[in-house]
């Protein structure tokens, strides 16, 4: 326990001369684990220093290891602000030189994890494709037995009910979204892993892509319903039309915040529980901390199992809502949803 206290930033520690060191700070510990950074620390003493890639007008492109600027060090005139994560040029006195614009293209922990997830997806999907090509009529084998039911689930329970007969055109996108979120959610549960889907920049990009997919595929009924909804009194149009336009942007914002908030909240709760051990050690001593540890670890294990369920659930919800938004943009008759001009006695032939 004492060894862990010395290793983690913000933990209480005791120096060699017997004086108390920095006290444990729960907030700093949590932020250290969920925020992005320029190195990937798998465990104490086992850290992968990622490349820092900078461009300035006077020096051009510069690449060096993040090892050179960790712990507040300055390298080649550059300093890394660990609170903000920004790299900036400093002058001879060590002050930030605001006159130099530094463009940062560094490979951070989240970027490295994103690249890892892409490689994993390519390997997994190629393995499934090869297995299917070799054994088209037989039972699924290997990883195909796990992936194929998920693909069929997205097709039969998400795409077909919400997109109708035109579902096949959007299946590649929906499957990509689902498996990308799922893989990154699962990777985020591993010790020392990156918090990719708990990064609002990542969920923002996913939401923006969904926004363009929905609106670029919207048909005339979709746009007419937006700017001139049928069956609405003329005096209500000045109120309804702005609400409909705002709704265009509320949908992707809800996708962005829902995924970000749920994944981040799970990590924060688990880290808070683990932090209770260090708080107990600081306030009541090692004996209390050791006595509390089995209880905390039991709750942490239970929450990790819940987070495993959440990883699948959030990937499904994001994909389902995206399919619903696309479906509302490509359907032929928006008025039917509101009962306008809908004849309940008219028989509609089912789509095969």
Per-residue model confidence as pLDDT tens digits over 256-280 = 999 999 999 988 998 888 888 888 8
Boundary of a domain, candidates 106, 135, 169: 106
Q: Judge whether 299 lies within some domain.
A: yes
Report whether pLDDT(48) > 90.
no
Q: Judge whether 347 lies within some domain.
A: no
Q: Judge whether 9 lies within some domain.
A: no
User: 116 and 92: one domain?
Assistant: no
Report whether pLDDT(345) > 60.
no
Q: How far apart are CA 280 and CA 26, in angstroms?
A: 12
Closest CA to 50 of 135, 116, 119: 116
Tokens standing for residue 18? 């017997």
| Amino acid 337: pLDDT | 46
User: 89 and 118: one domain?
Assistant: no
Q: Judge whether 344 lies within some domain.
A: no
User: 60 and 173: one domain?
Assistant: no
φ/ψ (deg, to 5) at 13 = -145, 165
Q: What is the pLDDT of residues 301-334, one digit of tens each?
A: 999 899 999 999 999 999 999 999 999 898 876 5
Q: Judge whether 129 lies within some domain.
A: yes
pLDDT bin (cut points 50, 70, 90) of residue 134 is confident
Higher pLDDT, 175 or 84: 175
User: 94 and 116: one domain?
Assistant: no
User: 64 and 139: one domain?
Assistant: no
Q: Judge whether 21 lies within some domain.
A: no
User: 94 and 201: one domain?
Assistant: no
Q: What is the pLDDT of residues 188-220, one digit of tens each?
A: 988 888 889 999 999 999 999 999 999 999 888
Report whether pLDDT(7) > 80.
no
pLDDT bin (cut points 50, 70, 90) of residue 144 is confident
User: 55 and 127: one domain?
Assistant: no
Q: Judge whether 113 lies within some domain.
A: yes
For the residues 50-55, what does the mean pLDDT come to? 91
User: 163 and 237: one domain?
Assistant: yes
Q: Judge whether 40 lies within some domain.
A: no
User: 160 and 113: one domain?
Assistant: yes
User: 101 and 197: one domain?
Assistant: no
Tokens standing for residue 194? 């990156």
pTM score over 0.85:
no
Look up the domain containing 168 and give its range.
Answer: 109-335
Q: How far apart are CA 94 and CA 75, in angstroms?
A: 11
Please give the distance of CA 262 from its chain centroid, rounded to a whole number. Answer: 10
Q: Are 174 and 323 in contact (CB under 8 A)?
A: yes
Q: How far apart are CA 141 and CA 147, in angstroms?
A: 10
Domain total of the chain: 2
User: 244 and 133: one domain?
Assistant: yes
Q: How far apart are CA 100 and CA 18, in angstroms?
A: 45
What is the percent of the chain with per-residue pLDDT over 70, rounded to a whole number? Answer: 88
Sequence length of the chain is 352
């Amino acid at each position: 326990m004492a060894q862990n206290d010395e290793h983690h930033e913000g933990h209480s520690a005791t120096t060699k001369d017997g004086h108390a060191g920095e006290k444990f700070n729960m907030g700093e510990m949590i932020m250290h684990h969920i925020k992005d950074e320029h190195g990937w620390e798998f465990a104490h003493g086992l850290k992968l220093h990622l490349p820092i890639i900078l461009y300035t007008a006077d020096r051009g492109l510069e690449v060096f290891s993040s090892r050179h600027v960790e712990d507040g060090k300055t390298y080649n005139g550059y300093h890394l602000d660990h609170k903000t994560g920004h790299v900036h040029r400093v002058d001879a006195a060590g002050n930030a030189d605001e006159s130099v614009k530094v463009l940062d293209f560094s490979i951070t922990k989240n970027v490295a994890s994103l690249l890892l997830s892409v490689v994993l997806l390519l390997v997994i999907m190629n393995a499934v494709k090869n297995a299917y090509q070799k054994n088209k009529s037989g039972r699924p084998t290997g990883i195909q037995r796990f992936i194929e039911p998920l693909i069929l689930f997205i097709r039969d329970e998400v795409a077909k009910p919400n997109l109708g007969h035109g579902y096949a055109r959007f299946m590649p996108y929906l499957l990509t979204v689902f498996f990308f979120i799922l893989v990154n959610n699962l990777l985020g549960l591993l010790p020392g892993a990156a918090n990719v889907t708990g990064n609002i920049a990542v969920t923002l990009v996913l939401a923006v892509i969904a926004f363009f997919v929905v609106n670029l595929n919207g048909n005339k009924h979709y746009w007419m319903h937006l700017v001139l909804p049928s069956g609405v009194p003329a005096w209500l149009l000045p109120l309804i039309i702005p609400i409909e336009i705002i709704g265009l942007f509320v949908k992707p914002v809800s996708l962005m915040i829902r995924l970000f908030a749920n994944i981040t909240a799970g990590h924060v709760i688990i880290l808070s529980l683990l932090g209770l051990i260090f708080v107990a050690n600081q306030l009541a001593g090692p004996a209390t901390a050791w006595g509390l540890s089995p209880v905390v670890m039991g709750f942490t294990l239970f929450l990790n199992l819940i987070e495993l369920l959440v990883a699948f659930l959030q990937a499904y919800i994001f994909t389902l809502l995206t399919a619903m938004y696309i479906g509302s943009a490509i359907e032929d008759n928006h008025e039917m949803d509101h009962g306008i001009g809908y004849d309940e006695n008219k028989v509609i032939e089912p789509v095969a």
